[in-house]
Amino acid sequence: MGAAESTLDELPSDAEEQLRSGEQQLELSGRRLRRLPGAVCALGRLQKLYVSGAGLRELPEEVEELRELRILALDSNKLELLPDGLCRLPRLARLYLGGNRLRALPADFAQLQSLRCLWIEGNFLRRFPRPLLRLAALQSLQMGDNRLRALPAELPRMTGLRGLWLYGNRFEEFPPALLRMGRLHILDLDRNRLGGFPDLHPLRALRVFSYDHNPVTGPPRVADTVFLVGEGAVERMAERDEPTPRPPPRRLARAFEDDEEEELLIGGAGARALEAPPGLGT
C-alpha cells in the first residue's frame, strides 16, 4: 500500500483532540477525502459524524461498525451508491444525504428503524424509494430538487411523518396520497408544475403549505390555521375572519410546540444549524 493510500486509512491529525472533549463527535467536513478513512469506522463509540463537502465517492461497508452513531452528515459529496452497511446502524436518528448523485436507496434501508430525520434533497431520484414506506418513525423527509413525478399510494403508512419537502420536482398533478396524510404539519410543493389543487381541508394538522412558483391562478382551500406561501396567499389570508397566522420564522422555530420535534423537522444541529429548506419561503 502506498503512502497516499495509507494516509486515507488514518485519522486526521486533529481527530484525537476533537474526541478528547468527550462528546463523541468528529467533524471532517470540507476535507478532500474521496473515501472515509478506515480508522473512523473503528470508533465504535462515535455518536456524531460530519463529512459534508469532502469529495466522498464511496463509503466502506465497515461503516456498520459505528453502532452508536446518532447523526451522520454526508451531504454535498459525490456518492452514487450507499453500502448495505449503512443500513445496519441501529441508533441512527438523523441522516443527511443531500447534494449527492443518488438514484436509489438500498433495499435494506428500511432497517433504519430509529431514523427520524432524512434529508436527501438535490439527488437524481426519479421514483420514491419504497424502503422509506417502512420507516414509520420518520418525522422529517426532505426530498426537494429531485425528479419525482408521483408518490406511492402507500405513503400514508408513514404515520410519523410531520414535515415533507417536495419542492423542485416534476409533479404535474397534486399526488392523491397526500390527502391521506392527516398528520402532516409542513408540506412544501414549491417549484413544480402543478396547475391546481384539491380541497386540502382533510389535512387537519397542516400548519404550513408552500406552493409558490407553480402555474396556479390562486391558493388552495385550506383551514384558516394554515400559513400559505404562494400566489394569492397574502390576499387569501387577509380575508379570514381570524387574524392571519404569523409567518413562520426562517427556521420554523415557532411552528412546533415540542422542541425536539421542532429540531428534527428543521434539521437541527446535525446539518450545521441549517435554515429552513430553500423551497419554503423563497
> What is the mean pLDDT of the segment spanning 65-81?
97
**242 versus 87: which is more confidently predicted?**
87
pLDDT at 270 over 70: no
pLDDT at 123 over 90: yes
CA distance 96 to 262: 17
Q: Which has the closest alpha carbon to 62: 78, 39, 81?
A: 39
pLDDT at 55 over 60: yes
pLDDT given at position 35: 86
What pTM does this model have? 0.85
Residues 6+ apart with CB under 8 A from 18: 25, 26, 27
Question: pLDDT band at residue 275, thresholds of 50, 70 and 90?
Answer: very low
pLDDT at 260 over 60: no
> What is the mean pLDDT of the segment spanning 261-277?
43
CA distance 175 to 155: 10
pLDDT given at position 94: 98
pLDDT given at position 244: 55
8 A C-beta contact, residue 139 and residue 117: yes
pLDDT at 197 over 80: yes
Cα distance between the two ends of the chain: 50
CA distance 182 to 177: 10
Long-range CB pairs of 114-120 (<8 Å, 24+ gap) are 114/90, 116/140, 116/160, 116/264, 117/93, 117/264, 117/265, 117/267, 117/268, 117/270, 118/94, 118/142, 119/75, 119/95, 119/267, 119/271, 120/146
